């Protein structure tokens, strides 16, 4: 005897057996009871949620010997014929294979004849989204006013592919993804029938993997049962399905490994991260699967962080719940969100990548390098505190930045740089405008004051540094001349004809490069000002100024207390 896969064996045969679609089954039952049966139904929803199943039950219910009944007997000839697909009056049509207008024309010719034995002629068209345009259109008139004995049931995973004219002629039922709790319950029901012992942890893994589809769940079970061979311990004749067995069969990633990964991220240990990845890969995990579980893992971390004491959002056993609560403390919500974003992007790109492993490695590296983020409001708060602090000595770089002071390889631009990834560069830029909040400004100038001669002497070195970094920039500024130093603003002069050079040098990334070169040689942070030797007084911020002039928007924004506070502290300007 051939084996019937569980997905077919346990296909529900009454409305009450259908899992997780009560909104559909109740409606249909009531419709049958009150004799308000529509002539065209559309069942839409994701795979494995019961569309075809309900369509068949409906057919049985309508044609059952005991009259249209919400509880088909499953014993009469009609019910049995429908179950094995031999009924003359229930046509189950594969819409994808019979999708041409000719197929529909044949259907239209046959639909006129009264049913041979039953009350209704039921046409179930599965995968109906694959019908061709002309097929749909050929069907329209029949669909709107079919003979009294005809019922159409369409089933599809992609209702958006159906023309509006078809949609409006059908009563539509949307099948939902089956909730995890329902799946868990189904597993225990089936385990009983199949004489299986399923560990609680394994139940959750299975339910989660099935992703709302009953069919997926059952084929997973089939697979695991086939894998768990005779050598498995047998207790009282029951086969045991353990989480270990599952992990092995499905190439899943152990939760503990995922915790290891997040630990590594917390420690910023790149070498160890690569090592763990390599180990995982050699142990034969499925990469996309791994990325998915990592995403899920991060999601759980986040939920653990924000959920407080409620357990509702978790489909996890309590053992791990505690662990998630514990581990989530190492990250801030924003950090977890950023990680989720990166991993989600990775998940998208993975599908197109030639070598998913490389992408995974790079993403992990990026996450490891990610600076922990600081809330802007909090940063301002800290600044306020600093302002209150009179002693300049306490204002080392570490105080302003958060836990992780500097990026590993790139030397920091200047000592006072607050570390916030890209944002910090912007902040640095804003401070290059002349200042009128001496409290902070003074505190920054804690290094020895250097003279113009010092700089002029070592200017060539600065140029050399710039040349190493960006040749094009070097060729632009090598003609410039250092002419003045006022406070901490260094003035560089270009010949009148070289306005292009000046403009280019004033670009933000170029300014940063020069400042970085200066920062390597002088401890004192310097601001830069470029001039043409005849036209005086064009400052680097000029372009910024002109831009900010237009529109009423900026003034409104400037009223915002947070923005105001940024202005006061950072010398900010609204650029856009």
Query: How far is it, in rounded angstroms, from Cα 150 to Cα 169?
Result: 14
Residue span binding other proteins (CB under 8 A) among the ranges 22-30, 180-188, 353-361, 411-419: 353-361
Secondary structure (DSSP) of 335-358: HHHHHHHHHHHHHHHHTT-S-HHH
Q: At closest approach, how far in Å is the CB of 455 from other proteins? A: 26
Interacting positions 111-150 with other proteins (CB under 8 A) = 126-127, 129-130
- The closest alpha carbon to 169, from 151, 193, 187, 192, belongs to 151
Whose Cβ is closer to other proteins: residue 4's or residue 449's? 4
Q: At closest approach, how far in Å is the CB of 142 from other proteins? A: 22
Q: At closest approach, how far in Å is the CB of 366 from other proteins? A: 8
Whose Cβ is closer to other proteins: residue 412's or residue 441's? 412
Q: Is 271 in the site for other proteins (CB under 8 A)?
A: yes
Interacting positions 442-471 with other proteins (CB under 8 A) = 469-471
Q: Is 545 in the site for other proteins (CB under 8 A)?
A: no
* Total residue count of the chain as it appears in this document: 576
Q: Is 26 in the site for other proteins (CB under 8 A)?
A: no
Radius of gyration from C-alpha coordinates of the chain: 35
CA 171, 74, 76: angle at the middle one, nearest 5? Answer: 110
Return the structure tokens found at 173: 């039922």
Residue span binding other proteins (CB under 8 A) among the ranges 61-69, 145-153, 214-222, 395-403: 214-222
Query: Which member of 174, 222, 260, 333 binds other proteins (CB under 8 A)?
Result: 222
Whose Cβ is closer to other proteins: residue 443's or residue 515's? 515
Whose Cβ is closer to other proteins: residue 197's or residue 573's? 197
Q: Is residue 397 packed enough to be buried (19+ CB in 10 Å), middle (13-18) or exposed (0-12)?
A: middle
Query: Which member of 219, 254, 489, 499 binds other proteins (CB under 8 A)?
Result: 219
Q: At closest approach, how far in Å is the CB of 204 from other proteins? A: 19
Query: Which member of 20, 45, 48, 72 binds other proteins (CB under 8 A)?
Result: 48
Query: Which member of 228, 418, 480, 572 binds other proteins (CB under 8 A)?
Result: 228
CA 552, 553, 555: angle at the middle one, nearest 5? Answer: 75
Q: Which residues have C-beta within 8 Å of that of residue 105, sequence separation ≥ 6?
A: 138
Query: Which member of 35, 310, 354, 555 binds other proteins (CB under 8 A)?
Result: 354
Q: Is 234 in the site for other proteins (CB under 8 A)?
A: no
Detail the DSSP E strand segments found in 393-539. Answer: 481-486, 489-494, 527-532
Backbone φ and ψ for 41, nearest 5 degrees, come out as: -115, 150
Q: Is 344 in the site for other proteins (CB under 8 A)?
A: no
Q: At closest approach, how far in Å is the CB of 241 from other proteins? A: 13
Q: Is 38 in the site for other proteins (CB under 8 A)?
A: no
Q: Is 365 in the site for other proteins (CB under 8 A)?
A: yes
Q: At closest approach, how far in Å is the CB of 360 from other proteins? A: 10
Q: Is 226 in the site for other proteins (CB under 8 A)?
A: yes
Query: Which member of 21, 99, 431, 515 binds other proteins (CB under 8 A)?
Result: 99
- Cα–Cα distances (Å) from 66 to 69, 76, 118, in that order, read 7, 9, 11
Query: How far is it, in rounded angstroms, from Cα 132 to Cα 265?
Result: 52
Q: At closest approach, how far in Å is the CB of 95 from other proteins? A: 8
CB-based contact 5:222 (threshold 8 Å): yes
- The closest alpha carbon to 32, from 122, 101, 161, 102, belongs to 122
Size of interface with other proteins, in residues (CB under 8 A): 61
Our measurement of the distance from residue 379's CA atom to the centroid of its chain's CA atoms, rounded to an integer in Å, reads: 28
Query: Which member of 174, 182, 197, 248 binds other proteins (CB under 8 A)?
Result: 248
Q: Is 225 in the site for other proteins (CB under 8 A)?
A: yes
Query: Which member of 33, 278, 447, 456 binds other proteins (CB under 8 A)?
Result: 278
Q: Is 1 in the site for other proteins (CB under 8 A)?
A: yes
Query: How far is it, in rounded angstroms, from Cα 477 to Cα 514?
Result: 9
Query: How far is it, in rounded angstroms, from Cα 253 to Cα 347?
Result: 16
Q: Which residues have C-beta within 8 Å of that of residue 347, sequence separation ≥ 6?
A: 288, 291, 292, 295
Secondary structure (DSSP) of 276-337: HHHHHHHTT--HHHHHHHHHHHHHHHHHHHHHTT--TT--S-HHHHHHHHHHGGGS-HHHHH
CB-based contact 140:169 (threshold 8 Å): yes
Q: Is 242 in the site for other proteins (CB under 8 A)?
A: no
Site residues for other proteins per CB under 8 A = 1-5, 8, 46-48, 52, 85, 94, 96-97, 99, 126-127, 129-130, 157, 213, 215-216, 219, 222-223, 225-229, 248-251, 270-271, 274, 278, 281-282, 284-286, 288, 349-355, 357-358, 361-362, 365-366, 469-471
């Amino acid at each position: 005897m051939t084996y019937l896969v569980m997905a077919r064996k346990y296909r529900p045969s009454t409305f009450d057996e259908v899992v997780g679609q009560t909104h559909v089954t109740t409606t249909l039952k009531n419709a049958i009871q009150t004799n308000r049966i529509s002539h065209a139904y559309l069942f839409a929803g994701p795979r494995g949620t019961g569309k075809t199943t309900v369509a068949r039950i409906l057919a049985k219910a309508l044609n059952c010997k005991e009259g249209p009944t919400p509880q088909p007997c499953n014993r009469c000839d009609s019910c049995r014929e429908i179950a094995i697909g031999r009924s003359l009056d229930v046509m189950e049509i594969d819409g994808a294979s019979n999708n041409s207008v000719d197929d529909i024309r044949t259907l239209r010719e046959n639909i006129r004849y009264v049913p041979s034995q039953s009350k209704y002629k039921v046409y179930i068209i599965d995968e109906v989204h694959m019908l061709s345009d002309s097929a749909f259109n050929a069907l329209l008139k029949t669909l709107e006013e079919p003979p009294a004995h005809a019922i159409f049931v369409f089933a599809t995973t992609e209702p958006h592919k159906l023309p509006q004219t078809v949609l409006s002629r059908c009563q539509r039922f949307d099948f939902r993804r089956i909730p995890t709790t329902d799946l868990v319950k189904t597993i225990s029901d089936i385990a009983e029938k199949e004489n299986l012992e399923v560990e609680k942890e394994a139940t959750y893994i299975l339910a989660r993997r099935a992703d709302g589809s009953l069919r997926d769940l059952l084929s997973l079970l089939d697979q695991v049962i086939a894998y768990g061979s005779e050598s498995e311990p047998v207790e009282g004749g029951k086969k045991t399905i353990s989480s270990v067995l599952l992990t092995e069969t499905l190439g899943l990633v152990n939760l503990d490994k995922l915790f290891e990964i997040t630990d590594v991220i917390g420690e910023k240990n790149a070498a160890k991260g690569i090592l763990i990845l390599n180990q995982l890969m050699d142990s034969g995990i499925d990469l996309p699967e791994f990325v998915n579980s990592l995403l899920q893992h991060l999601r759980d971390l986040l939920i653990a962080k924000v959920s407080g004491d409620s357990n509702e959002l978790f489909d996890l056993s309590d053992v791990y719940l505690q662990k998630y609560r514990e581990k989530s403390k190492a990250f801030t919500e924003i950090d977890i969100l950023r990680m989720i974003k990166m991993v989600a992007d990775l998940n998208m790109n993975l599908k197109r990548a030639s070598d998913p492993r490389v992408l995974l490695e790079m993403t992990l590296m990026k996450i490891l390098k990610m600076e922990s983020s600081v809330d802007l409001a909090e940063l301002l708060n800290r600044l306020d505190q600093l302002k209150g602090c009179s002693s300049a000595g306490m204002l080392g770089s570490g105080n302003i930045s958060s836990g992780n002071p500097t990026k590993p390889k790139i030397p920091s631009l200047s000592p006072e740089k607050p570390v916030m990834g890209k944002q910090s560069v912007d902040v640095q830029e804003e401070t290059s405008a002349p200042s009128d909040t001496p409290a902070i400004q003074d505190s920054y100038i804690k290094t020895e004051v250097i003279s113009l001669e010092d700089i002029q002497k070592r200017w060539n070195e600065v140029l050399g540094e710039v040349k190493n970094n960006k040749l094009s920039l070097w060729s632009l500024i090598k003609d410039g001349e250092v002419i003045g130093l006022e406070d901490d603003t260094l003035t560089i002069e270009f010949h009148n004809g070289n306005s292009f050079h000046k403009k280019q040098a004033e670009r933000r990334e170029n300014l940063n490069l020069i400042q970085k070169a200066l920062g390597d040689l002088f401890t004192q942070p310097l601001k830069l000002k470029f001039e043409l030797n005849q036209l005086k007084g064009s400052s680097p911020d000029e372009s910024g100024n002109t831009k900010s002039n237009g529109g009423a928007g900026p003034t409104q924004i400037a009223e915002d207390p947070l923005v105001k506070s940024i202005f006061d502290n950072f010398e900010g300007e609204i650029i856009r």
